[in-house]
Amino acid sequence: MAARQESCSFTGHRPEKLPWGDNERDPRCEALRRSIADALELAYEEGFRHFICGMAQGCDLYFCEAAQKLKRTRPGVTIEAALPYVGFADRWASAQRVKYAELLRGCDNAVALSTVYTPYCALQRDRYLIDHASLLLAAYNGTPGGTRYTIEYALKRGVEVRYLPIEDAADAIAEENDAYEPPF
What is the residue type of 89? A
The pLDDT, as a whole number, for residue 2 is 72
Q: pTM, whole model, 2 decimals? A: 0.88
- Residue 37: CA count within 13 A, CB half-sphere: 15
Whole-angstrom CA distances from 119 to 83, 85, 116, 128 are 14, 11, 10, 16
* Cα torsion angle, 95, 14, 33, 8, sign: negative
- Residue 89: CA count within 13 A, CB half-sphere: 22
Cα 95 from Cα 184, distance rounded (Å): 33
Cα 68 from Cα 79, distance rounded (Å): 7
Phi, psi of 83 (to 5 degrees): -100, 135
Cα 18 from Cα 139, distance rounded (Å): 10
The pLDDT, as a whole number, for residue 1 is 62
The pLDDT, as a whole number, for residue 175 is 43
Question: Which domains, from first to last, does the chain contain?
Answer: 4-176 (3.40.50.450)
Cα 86 from Cα 96, distance rounded (Å): 16
The pLDDT, as a whole number, for residue 162 is 97
Phi, psi of 141 (to 5 degrees): -110, 5
What is the residue type of 103? L
Cα 39 from Cα 109, distance rounded (Å): 22
| pLDDT in single tens digits along all 184 residues of the chain | 677 679 999 999 999 999 999 999 999 999 999 999 999 999 999 999 999 999 999 999 999 999 999 999 999 999 999 999 999 999 999 999 999 999 999 999 999 999 999 999 999 999 999 999 999 999 999 899 999 999 999 999 999 999 998 876 544 444 434 444 544 4
- Residue 129: CA count within 13 A, CB half-sphere: 36
The pLDDT, as a whole number, for residue 5 is 77
| Sheet with 50-53, edge to edge strand ranges | 109-112, 78-83, 50-53, 7-12, 135-139, 160-164
